[in-house]
Amino acid sequence: MKNLCLSLIALACLPALAAGQVVEEIITRVNNQIITRSEFERSKDQLKEEVKQQNAADPDKAYADCTAPASARAPEGSVDMGTGYDCTDVMAHTAAKTINPAQRRWRNTLVSAMAKQGFVNYSKEWWHFSLPGASGPAYDFPIPARRS
């Protein structure tokens, strides 16, 4: 019975094999599991769809740089501070002159709220704060190697 099933499967594939067509392209093997091109593409499309449903940045869209208006930058779920988080442009300096009044108010609100808790702003990055006196000796301890 098993041989009959295998023979029928082989007969069904003969036209494709005779024509020199690839039935399914194997692209890799992960943990002894074969991954085909169609499985990879299906997983990639599913992941893109999940990202879109989570209101995250669209992976297929070309966004503007971190100094562009908030509507043109990749969405980051925050108020408009004038630049994106982690932007290294001079426009990201806390006291940048090129931001609008609303962005200035948001930055001032952030700096004020953090200062009330003892944090000090790094003037070249509106999001960067330090807590004086919080640093102490490094937690330096040996990590023994695992033995298998």
Length of the chain equals 148
Phi then psi dihedrals of residue 107, to 5 deg? -65, -45
pLDDT of residue 25: 82
pLDDT category of residue 148 using cuts at 50, 70 and 90: low
For residue 81, give the amino acid letter. M
> Which tens digits make up the pLDDT trace of 9-36?
655 655 655 566 667 887 777 777 787 8
Q: Which uninterrupted H or E stretch holds 30?
A: strand 26-30
Q: Supply 68's token pair.
A: 């562009």
Cα torsion 99, 105, 111, 115 to 10°: value is: 160
Q: What percent of the chain has pLDDT over 90?
A: 30
- The 3-state DSSP class for residue 143 equals coil
pLDDT category of residue 97 using cuts at 50, 70 and 90: very high
- First vs last C-alpha separation in the chain: 46
- The 3-state DSSP class for residue 120 equals strand
Q: What is the distance of C-alpha 59 from the center of its chain?
A: 9
> Which tens digits make up the pLDDT trace of 29-62?
777 778 788 887 887 777 777 656 655 667 777 8
Please state, in angstroms and rounded to a whole number, the distance separating the CA atoms of residues 141 and 137: 11
Mean of the per-residue pLDDT values of the chain? 79
Q: What percent of the chain has pLDDT over 70?
A: 74
